[in-house]
């Protein structure tokens, strides 16, 4: 996967170099000045978009909020650039510790590729560790977060593979592999509330995942795809600070282990285009055998 991403990045770079335009004011027929080395790479791996318009990284590795993928793409690359991020998220409750980390690249404001790893450690009575691998892709279909009157719309897919299947198998999961498919629409209203910009996002996900896939996929209760609603609302207090809330529906596939929908409220600090920090409170409710797993969480993202 890593080699394929860099081959694609190199191909896009070469294509951009071959189609470079003559700058304004250059005499007709003369080639554009050739940039080499780091100067050329700075143009390709760039950060030309507005601060905060790439969101942060949600817990499955896609650009968005903490819980919900948005229609934005990772990083700050324009339609002529490649952007990227790396992230770490930690959710610590009384009995459950969830950690997630990964990276993503977006190409020409059209395609996002991401990879993430989630790990859950639980306390007594089982002292269990469960992890899963997530490979994601997202394509922006049309629209722009800021510059069009309609929202930007993107379609995404997340392939998930549970790496510790004994526990999911024991509770009735039907598979260790699953694919989530979603459609997201996001819009930034520059004069949203009392003159403060507001971002709204709606995501509809088709999924069979139990607890995001950490307890496998499907079960005796339900083993087919179900549509789940996810939503986000974010108020940009300043150029660097945003406050928001999210809601995410989750299916009930496993008998005796009803899943609670998840919600969060957060504060995001966009230090600059290369660093953002998020702190929030997540209402997770009952998670498998553990009740009342509401907790604070933290996310850090580096990017370009």
Task: Give residue 302's pLDDT.
Answer: 97
pTM of the model: 0.84
Asked if residue 299 belongs to a domain, the reply is yes
What pLDDT, in 10s, does the model give residues 109-142? 999 999 999 999 987 555 678 999 999 999 999 9
Handedness of CA 109, 200, 249, 183 (dihedral sign): negative
| Token pair in block for residue 167 | 């526990």
Asked if residues 244 and 266 have their Cβ atoms less than 8 Å apart, the reply is yes
Find where tokens 């996929």 sit: 217
The token duo for 61 is: 């590795």
Is position 38 within any domain? yes
Strands, E assignment, 93-209: 96-107, 111-122, 129-142, 152-162, 177-193, 196-207
Task: Give residue 73's pLDDT.
Answer: 97
Q: Which pLDDT value is given to residue 112? A: 98
Look at residue 27 and tell me if it is in a domain: no
Rg value, the chain, Cα: 21
State the pLDDT at residue 288: 79
The residue count of the chain comes to: 304
What pLDDT does 127 receive?
Answer: 62
Task: Supply the pLDDT for residue 20.
Answer: 37
**Per-residue confidence in pLDDT tens, the chain, 304 aa:** 444 434 334 333 333 433 433 333 444 455 555 566 666 666 788 788 999 999 999 999 999 999 999 999 999 999 999 999 999 999 999 888 999 999 999 999 999 999 999 999 987 555 678 999 999 999 999 999 999 999 999 999 999 999 999 989 999 999 999 999 999 999 999 988 888 999 999 999 999 999 999 999 999 878 899 999 999 999 999 999 999 999 999 999 998 888 999 999 999 999 999 999 999 999 999 887 788 889 999 999 999 9
Which residue range forms the structural domain that includes residue 168?
Answer: 2-16+34-303
Q: Which residues pair with 22 in a beta bridge?
A: none
Total domain count for the chain?
Answer: 1
Is 274 contained in some domain? yes
Tell me, yes or no, whether 21 lies in a domain: no
Is 24 part of a structural domain of the chain?
A: no
Residue 25 domain-assigned? Answer: no
Residue of 117, 225, 210 lying closest to 169 (CA atoms): 210
Token digits for 127?
């002292």
Instruction: Evaluate whether residue 23 is within a structural domain.
Output: no
Q: Which of 151, 158, 184 is nearest to 68 (CA)?
A: 184
Q: What is the pLDDT of residues 172-182, one digit of tens each?
A: 999 999 999 99
Q: In CATH, what number is assigned to the domain containing residue 159? A: 2.40.160.40
């Amino acid at each position: 996967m890593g080699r394929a991403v860099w081959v694609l990045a190199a191909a896009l770079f070469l294509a951009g170099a071959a189609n470079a335009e003559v700058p304004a004011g250059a005499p007709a027929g003369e080639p554009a000045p050739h940039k080499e080395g780091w100067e050329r790479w700075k143009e390709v791996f760039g950060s030309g978009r507005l601060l905060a318009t790439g969101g942060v990284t949600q817990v499955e590795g896609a650009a968005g909020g903490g819980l919900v993928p948005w229609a934005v793409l990772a990083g700050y690359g324009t339609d002529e650039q490649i952007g990227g991020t790396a992230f770490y998220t930690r959710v610590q409750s009384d009995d459950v510790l969830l950690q997630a980390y990964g990276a993503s690249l977006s190409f020409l404001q059209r395609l996002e590729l991401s990879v993430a790893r989630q790990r859950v450690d639980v306390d007594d009575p089982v002292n269990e560790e469960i992890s899963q691998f997530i490979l994601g892709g997202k394509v922006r279909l049309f629209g722009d977060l800021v510059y069009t009157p309609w929202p930007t719309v993107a379609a995404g897919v997340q392939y998930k593979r549970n790496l510790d299947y004994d526990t999911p198998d024991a509770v009735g999961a039907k598979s260790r592999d699953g694919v989530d498919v979603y459609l997201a629409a996001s819009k930034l209203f520059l004069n949203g509330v009392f003159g403060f910009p507001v971002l709204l996002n709606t995501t509809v996900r088709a999924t069979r995942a139990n607890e995001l896939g950490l307890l496998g996929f499907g079960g005796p209760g339900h083993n087919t795809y179900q549509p789940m609603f996810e939503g986000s609302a974010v108020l940009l207090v300043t150029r660097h600070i945003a406050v928001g809330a999210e809601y995410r529906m989750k299916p009930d596939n496993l008998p005796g282990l009803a899943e609670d929908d998840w919600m969060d409220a957060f504060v995001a600090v966009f230090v600059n285009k290369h660093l953002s920090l998020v702190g929030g409170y997540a209402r997770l409710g009952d998670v498998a055998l553990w009740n009342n797993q509401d907790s604070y969480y933290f996310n850090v993202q580096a990017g370009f």
